[in-house]
Structure 1
Amino acid sequence: MVLVILLISLTTIISVFLYLKFARMLQLGKAFKGPLNLPLFGHGLHLIGKSPHEYLLMLTDYIKIYGNTFKVWMGPELNILTIDLKDIEVVLGTTKFNDKATLYKTMIPWLNEGLLISRGKKWFKRRKIITPAFHFKILEQFIEVFDQGGIKLVEQLRTQIDKEAFDFYSFVSTCTLDIICGKYECNTLI
């Protein structure tokens, strides 16, 4: 009996603490539709045991059910997912909304605060420096390399059609490296 009262008390204290800590996110989350979620776990339990392919199919179903913009809780973290181009333009067009997800913090020791991890004015300044390298006029010089590399990648992926599973990442990362190096092989590491 004492153990039950202790567990109920502990659960209540933790629930109140979490509610107070995440009240703003809970309030913002109410503005968006989304699948049912469990306290503390969010939608994480929906993902257990799913392959990346199944995960993408699940997101596609969510888009059909909840529309172009919906919420997904990953544990206590609110994620707003959208395929609405106007919303994406607003978010990417300002430094106000470019805080990185918690997962990015784990990469700081490895990447420091480079373009991928930085935020706010620091991110905007760095992005402004690198943006000219991706201007269409510059990228046009590499169309043949992109095209040939893509053709070789498709040829290699076709050899995997009858296989039940294969490491797609190794094919794409190798092809990416070859394209960056200006080769057409897409088989440097395979």
Structure 2
Amino acid sequence: MILLIALLLTVGVVLMTYLVRPLLTTLRWRKEGKIKMKGIGLEPHWLLGSLHLVQVTEESFNFMESLLPLYPKIGQLWMGPFVWYLTLTHPHVLKPILATAEPKDELGYGFLRPWIGDGLLVSKGKKWHRNRHLLTRAFHFDILRGYTEIFNSCATTMLDKWVTMPQSAPVEMFKHVSLMTLDNMLLCTMSCTTNCQTDSKENRYIKAVFDLGEIVMNRMFNPLIHNDFVFYLTPMGRRFKGHCEYVHAFDEKIIQERKVLIKSSLESLTNDSKMHGEDSGNVELYKKATGKNLDFLDILLLTKDEDGKGLSDREIRDEVDTFLFEGHDTTASGISWAFYCLATYPDYQEKCREEVRRILGDKEFISWFVWLSSLQWFPTFVS
């Protein structure tokens, strides 16, 4: 009898800890959220929240755009009955939010973590500050200047494709722009040539990156697969896991090959096979040894902190995956929206065209010049 009572008490504690308390907390959050957001944005459905109105479709984005005149600064988006988000659409409202140091949302970012690991996008605290400091060198003007030729080449490849298309047929620009930005990022981060913009055969790595991003977005809008255990039982979850394993193996192979190249290059320059510590992390020495423009991976492998410690192989892989995702997807969205706005407002399109003509003159490509002011160096794009 005593054992039975103890067992029942144990089961009760477990249920209270893992089921009842989280449910009560979630219900309280829902109540508080509905009170705070009353009159701001659409009222949520009792079960679906906003999901019956908003999904990852063009129609949903058009619907959300139609709400802007009604709620020009702030709105709400409920992902099912319990999880809700603020939608900020005005810079005056967005500014104080961006200035805070609140912890990152684990629901959205947590879906990315199996893919991009604990890189700058999802990391926090001391790790974020240390790695952010170590990566600063990768964004120095001397490094970025070397990417200009890559930008020009990838953009030209995309434009050459457009020239061959029927002029009267509509073009889904986002796919083309996404391939162009991913092409840029693979070359700038890992000097990896895939010909993804022109190769008619679908590259497995490219397919994996695109599919991973799509799966993450679809999962966010489907509360039924928010739970990891449930998600990985589904075909989508198994596909996500397989893509992650392939992408990680691809990255790790390139990282190990680059480590060997860096080591041999530095040793050949110094005739010292026992280089270690800060000498082996000398960025300028490696640049001198190879005569190449350093890419993002070179910087990750060579950079050291004040204690002479660099990033681990896992941290390097996480940052590579993070910047590939952030660098191609968000940039493609921004460029596509810019094209949409230019097409919507022909007067501004013509102003932009005139500015480009004025800057370029008779030149075909944009190059990067850095000029010295009285106080510091500034980047500027000139012909």
Is TM (by shorter chain) over 0.5? yes
Q: How many residues are paired up?
A: 170
**What's the offset of the Cα at 1:111?**
3.1
Partner of 1:79: 85
**What's the offset of the Cα at 1:145?**
2.8
Partner of 1:91: 97
Pairing of 1:23-102 with structure 2 (within 5 A): 23-30=31-38, 33-47=40-54, 51=57, 53-75=58-80, 76-96=82-102, 98-102=103-107
3-state DSSP of counterpart to 2:48: coil
Partner of 2:109: 104
Which moves more between the two structures, 70-79 or 172-181?
172-181
Which moves more between the two structures, 69-78 or 155-164?
155-164
Q: 1:124 to 1:163 in 2, by over 3 A?
A: farther
- Structure 1 unmatched runs, 5+: 1-15
Contact 2:72 2:89 in 1 (8 A): no
Partner of 1:10: none
Contact 2:50 2:78 in 1 (8 A): yes
**What's the offset of the Cα at 1:167?**
9.0
**What's the offset of the Cα at 1:43?**
0.7
Letter in 2 for 1:110: W
Runs of 4+ off more than 6 Å: none
3-state DSSP of counterpart to 1:73: strand
The TM-score normalised by the length of structure 2 is: 0.37
Letter in 2 for 1:37: P
Letter in 1 for 2:37: G
- Structure 2 unmatched runs, 5+: 1-22, 201-383
Partner of 2:27: 19
Tell me the C-alpha RMSD between the 2 structures: 3.6
Identity fraction in percent: 24
The TM-score normalised by the length of structure 1 is: 0.65
Q: Deviations over 1:18-57 (max 9, x none)?
A: 5324333334433x71123201311100135x72x22221
Partner of 1:129: 134
The equivalent position to 1:187 in structure 2, one of 188, 192, 197, is 197
> Equivalents in 2 of 1:24, 1:189: separation in Å?
52
Larger-gyration structure (1/2):
2
Q: Which has the higher contact order (CA 8 A, sep 6+)?
A: 2
Contact 1:42 1:73 in 2 (8 A): yes
Letter in 2 for 1:44: L
Letter in 2 for 1:54: E
Partner of 1:156: 161
Q: 1:152 to 1:74 in 2, by over 3 A?
A: same
**What's the offset of the Cα at 1:66?**
0.7
Letter in 1 for 2:47: L
Q: 1:124 to 1:22 in 2, by over 3 A?
A: farther
Which structure has the highest helix share of the two?
A: 2
